[in-house]
């Protein structure tokens, strides 16, 4: 067993002494730099493991006066939805913890209804040559174009909230979109009887670009396809996101069809709830996404029956920390870090934290 005196000796000099190498060689290994043979590197890492050595990153950075700068590119909070306040809180929490380590975090906001605002902010990030990027890849084509530029510049990147397959991101932190839609189908399955109808509602100006909504819809449809339940699935894509337009489209489709349940694929479920309440249609079961004040109000009044929530604050926090763990500690991260899929109801919402 290691005694107190040995513990006090643990450091770069002690590792170098035991490995019979220079402190510069140890430093190269700890910082994952080239110039050290595989055999020597493995000997040094074995000693690091034996001593349970954890480098004082703060002291090292303060001494060298080096800094790292991370950029975060996410949608801004809008009048239509306050969802992105939660990931931003997580980003700010991580930023506060890392500032003493010589790490800065700058946040850029784009309009989730306007891909040109995404492009403009992405261009600014590339111009400023950040050391790492946390990205909510809401617009798929534009996101792919951006990360290609990041790759060309050697900038590592992390996805949060929604994923794009077959990319070289360090990791994805967020919900399993398909499974969350599949879960919604499972919930509705308990209510629907043979011959009844379920309505899928997508609300987004950039519908074709918001692949994360469509993945939830795919999961929802897959559940009923597998169970071969005799229900009719209807769908409406509402591309004007103001309440008047949402109200008009819901009037149209509900006048044409006797709908028994509605599944809203994003956080705008409160707009649908408002319509149902105003038109005395609260007997229609309603499910949607996200632990927002406007959604909770309708949940408490039993207009919204289920909210599916997936820890958005933790997504923002873990996204920034993933860059820190990779760039500072050289830790390898799991490729996919899925958030839990939580079902929130009137009975349990007071115990939930985003």
The model's pLDDT over 175-212, given as tens digits with 9 standing for 90+, comes to: 999 999 999 999 999 999 989 999 999 998 875 555 67
What mean pLDDT is predicted for residues 85-100?
A: 93
Does residue 130 or residue 33 have the better pLDDT? 130
At 207 the pLDDT is: 59
CA distance 181 to 315: 19
Phi then psi dihedrals of residue 244, to 5 deg: -60, -40
Query: What CA–CA distances, in Å, run from 121 to 72, 82, 106, 111, 150?
Result: 10, 20, 12, 10, 13
Q: What is the mean pLDDT of residues 98-105?
A: 88
Q: Mean pLDDT of all residues in the chain?
A: 89
Q: What pLDDT is recorded for position 56?
A: 61
Q: Which residue has the higher pLDDT, 90 or 80?
A: 90
How far are the Cα atoms of 18, 34, 200, 316 from residue 48, in angstroms, in the given order?
Answer: 10, 18, 55, 31
Alpha carbon 193 to chain centroid, angstroms: 35
Domains of the chain by range and CATH? 4-55 (1.10.260.40), 65-175+312-340 (3.40.50.2300), 177-309 (3.40.50.2300)
The whole-number pLDDT of residue 10 equals 55
- Summarize pLDDT for 252-287 with one digit per residue, the tens: 999 999 999 999 999 999 999 999 999 999 999 999
The pLDDT assigned to 3 comes to 45
Residue 66's pLDDT band, with cuts at 50, 70 and 90, is low
Q: Percent of the chain having pLDDT more than 90?
A: 68
Please give the pLDDT value at position 331.
81
């Amino acid at each position: 067993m290691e005694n107190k005196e040995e513990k006090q000796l643990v450091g770069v000099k002690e590792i170098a002494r035991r490995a019979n190498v220079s402190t510069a060689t140890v430093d190269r290994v700890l910082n994952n730099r080239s110039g050290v043979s595989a055999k020597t590197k493995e000997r040094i890492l074995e000693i690091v493991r034996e001593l349970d050595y954890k480098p004082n990153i703060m002291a090292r950075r303060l001494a060298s006066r080096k800094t790292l700068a991370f950029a975060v590119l996410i949608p801004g909070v809008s009048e239509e939805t306050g969802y992105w306040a939660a990931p931003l809180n997580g980003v700010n929490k991580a930023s506060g913890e890392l500032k003493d380590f010589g790490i800065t975090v700058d946040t850029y906001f784009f309009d989730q209804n306007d891909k040109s605002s995404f492009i403009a902010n992405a261009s600014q990030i590339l111009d400023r040559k950040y050391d790492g990027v946390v990205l909510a890849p809401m617009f798929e084509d534009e996101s792919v174009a951006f990360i290609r530029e990041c790759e060309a510049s050697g900038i590592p990147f992390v996805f949060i909230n929604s994923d794009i397959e077959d990319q070289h991101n360090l990791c994805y932190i967020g919900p399993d979109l398909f499974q969350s839609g599949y879960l919604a189908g499972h919930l509705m399955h308990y209510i629907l009887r043979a011959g009844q109808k379920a309505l899928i509602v997508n609300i987004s100006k950039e519908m074709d670009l918001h692949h994360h909504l469509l993945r939830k819809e795919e999961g929802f449809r897959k559940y009923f396809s597998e169970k071969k339940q005799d229900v009719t699935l209807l769908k409406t894509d509402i591309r004007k996101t103001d309440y008047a337009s949402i109200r008009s489209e819901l009037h149209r489709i509900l006048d044409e069809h006797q709908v028994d349940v509605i599944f809203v694929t994003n956080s705008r479920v409160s707009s649908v709830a408002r319509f149902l309440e105003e038109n005395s249609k609260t007997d229609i079961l309603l499910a949607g996404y996200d632990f927002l004040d406007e959604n909770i109000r309708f949940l408490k009044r039993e207009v919204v029956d289920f909210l599916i929530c997936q820890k958005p604050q933790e997504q923002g926090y873990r996204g920034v920390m993933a860059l820190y763990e990779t760039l500072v500690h050289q830790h390898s991260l799991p490729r996919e870090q899925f958030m839990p899929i939580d079902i929130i109801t009137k009975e349990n919402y007071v115990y939930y934290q985003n």
